[in-house]
Structure formats: structure tokens, C-alpha cells
Amino acid sequence: MAAIPPGSTIGILGGGQLGRMLALAAARLGYHCHIYAPEADPPAAEVAAQFTRGDYTDAAAMAAFAQSCAVVTYEFENIPFDPVAALAKLVPVRPGTEALRISQDRLFEKDFCSARGIGTAPYRAVANVADLCAAATAIGLPLVLKTRRMGYDGKGQAKIGHVDDVPAAFAALKSDALIAEGFVRFHRELSVVLARGTDGSIVSWGPVENIHRNHILWRTHAPARIEPALAAEAERIARELAEGLDYVGVLAVELFDCGDHVLVNEMAPRVHNSGHWTMDAALTSQFEQHIRAICGLPLGDGGRLCDAVMENLVGDEIDAWPALLAEPNARLHLYGKSEARPGRKMGHVNRLYPPGRAPDPEVS
């Protein structure tokens, strides 16, 4: 398969911070980026060669967009599937549409893992209150009821601790496409971010530990301080999922560390928040690696230059930028968003440490 050479145009569906950082990485390799998004002034458009404002369901606009691109990728998975599938008939879309279809639906995702013998939390599909009652009996309580689609950062879910909570939880989510998941007792949350090329080669950055605050990723510690056998199992699972999807690009797999084994929580078919540390602490960042992969270039070395702690800056935490710039081991990345709102990711900071010198996740 011929590589897409520098000087070509890469289309990016979505104009958020991930698209922005992809466009910056692409420009460094000599590519032009064309952003397609429905917003009037998305952060990615500020750093891209072209920007088309349009709805994803506008077939004519999407077709015109495709004509300008040598390859198209997407920066988030909550994008209408059918328009992307139609786009894939006009221009290569990487990762492929199958990865998008599966990752958009929590039930499809868990079924995909289960079919490969990969462990997840116990789960059941839920379409009505009777299904939810049956799930509570089969799985046990407590459990979490989630929308199968569109949920993120804690949205679209309800905890059920007692059978009396069932009717209200079902009514609150206002959907008949739900999934009930059993509670998992775990030591820490992990993720493995890897890239797979058009030739099937895989480069991984290894497991990292993630700490959430108010259902939003707060800090990522790289590397995760776990036993080598558990790290190898997490990497094996992520590689198996990437190969099963015939994936091209960067894939993130979120997992639970359950002590002597890991369970998959979910997948993200894109560059991922828990991979932002690679921008300053790895030989090849996740953003450059994604561009390399989708263009059919050789993958870069994923070696870690130092240990790192990535911290998201949410809402008015962005106001601390002067102090962050003054930290000698900190590298600040701002997303160019005009308004700081509660829960909105405005940037992140990577703090770099000699190997073994980063603060423990428990006290950081």
C-alpha cells in the first residue's frame, strides 16, 4: 500500500482540541489539514490550512470535503455513523468504519471483547424496566445503568444500589437502548494507548494510570506502577483488540486493574486524553504517530524519554497559566478555547520527572 506523501491534505472530522493537536503534528511532517466541523470557530480550525463548517449529515458538503483529502480521520467517536460510512466510499477513512461502529455502542463493544475471550464487567442489554430488573437479579447490585451511545465524562449513566431505584433510574436516562454493568472492585484505572500501521505493525506506549475527578480525567501517570505481568496482559489485550478490528491509527483501551487480572472498560478509536503525556515525554507523540499510521508511513519509536504526569486544566483552572509556565519541569498546552466553563477542558500540563522520581498517584 503506497504511503500518502507529505504535501497531501488530511481531512479531520471534528474541530476540538484533539483535532487541533493532530493538525499541529501533521504540519510538522509537511501535511496540510482540512477540518470539517459544525461549530463556527472550532479550536482546530485556528491551526489548519482549511476549514469547512457543515453538518455531518450534509451529504453534498461531506462529498466536497472528501474531494480535497487524500485520507480522512476523526477526532471523536460520537459522530453519525452513516455519513462516515458514505464518506469511506469516496476517500480512505482511518481508523475504519468498523472501529467507529463498535466503539459507538457500549453493548457492541462489550460483545466484541467477549467474543475474543477478553474480560469485562458483567453486563446485560436493557430495553425496559423488566430487562433492568432481570439484569439486577443476574448481575447483582450495585450496578450502573448507562446509555449505549453518546455518554462520556460520567454523562448518560445512573447508579442503582437498591431494587427500589430501578424505575427512577430507567426513567432518568430516557432511552430504551441501555446497558447494565456490574460494579467492578479495582485497585486503579489503567489505559493502554497504541498505534497500528497499515502494514499491521504496532507500537505501544505501555500502560498508564488514570485518576478521575468528577468523572473527568484529572491526571495520568506514565508509566503505571504495576507488576510487569499485569502490564504485559494489558498490552496483550490492547494489541488483540487492535488486530481484531484491523485497526489503523491510534487506539486507546481503558482497563481496570483488579489485582491479578485486568478487565476492559471501554475503547476509544482515536488519540486519547491519557496519551497527552507523549507530547513531551516520548520519542514519538500519539498525535504524530496517528498521522504516520493513517498516511501509511513507518511508525515512530514509542520509547519514553522520562516519567510524566499529565494534568487536565478544566474550567477556570486555566487561569493558573502564569504559575504553570514558571514551573521548570512543566510543559503547558492550551487549546485556544475562548470561554472557560465548568467541566470544559481548556488545556493540559505535562510535568516531567527522571525515571522513578514522579510523585505517587496516591499522593499527587
Known binder of ligand: residue 156?
Answer: yes
Q: Rounded to an integer, what distance in angstroms lies between the CA atom of residue 48 and that of residue 71?
A: 15
Known binder of ligand: residue 181?
Answer: yes
Backbone angles phi, psi at 223, to 5 degrees: -90, 170
Which three cell numbers, joined as nine digits, stand for 341?
A: 466553563
Known binder of ligand: residue 106?
Answer: yes
Under a CB-based contact definition with an 8 Å cutoff, are residues 11 and 38 in contact?
Answer: no
Q: Rounded to an integer, what distance in angstroms lies between the CA atom of residue 162 and that of residue 164?
A: 5
Known binder of ligand: residue 189?
Answer: yes
Three-class DSSP category at 340: coil
C-alpha distances in Å from residue 12, one per residue of 70, 178, 292, 335, 345: 11, 30, 14, 16, 20
Which of 272, 277, 264 has its CA nearest to residue 236? Answer: 264
Residue carrying the nine cell digits 516520548:
282
Q: β-strands 330-334, 188-196: how paired? A: unpaired
Number of other residues whose CB lies within 10 A of the CB of residue 26: 28
Three-class DSSP category at 261: coil
Known binder of ligand: residue 157?
Answer: yes
Strand partners, 157: 146
Please say whether the dihedral angle defined by the alpha carbons of residues 56, 60, 65 and 70, taken in this order, is positive or negative: positive
Known binder of ligand: residue 315?
Answer: no
Counting DSSP H helices and E strands in the chain, the numbers are 11, 16
Known binder of ligand: residue 248?
Answer: no
Which three cell numbers, joined as nine digits, stand for 137?
A: 437479579
Known binder of ligand: residue 78?
Answer: no
Known binder of ligand: residue 51?
Answer: no
Q: Rounded to an integer, what distance in angstroms lies between the CA atom of residue 298 and that of residue 292?
A: 6
Known binder of ligand: residue 154?
Answer: yes
What distance, in Å, lies between the first and last C-alpha atoms of the chain? 46
Known binder of ligand: residue 152?
Answer: yes
Known binder of ligand: residue 174?
Answer: no
Known binder of ligand: residue 287?
Answer: no
Provide the 8-state DSSP code for 23. H
Known binder of ligand: residue 303?
Answer: no
Known binder of ligand: residue 182?
Answer: yes
- Binding-site residue numbers are 106, 146, 151-157, 181-184, 189, 212, 265-266
- Binding-site residue numbers for ATP are 106, 146, 151-157, 181-184, 189, 212, 265-266
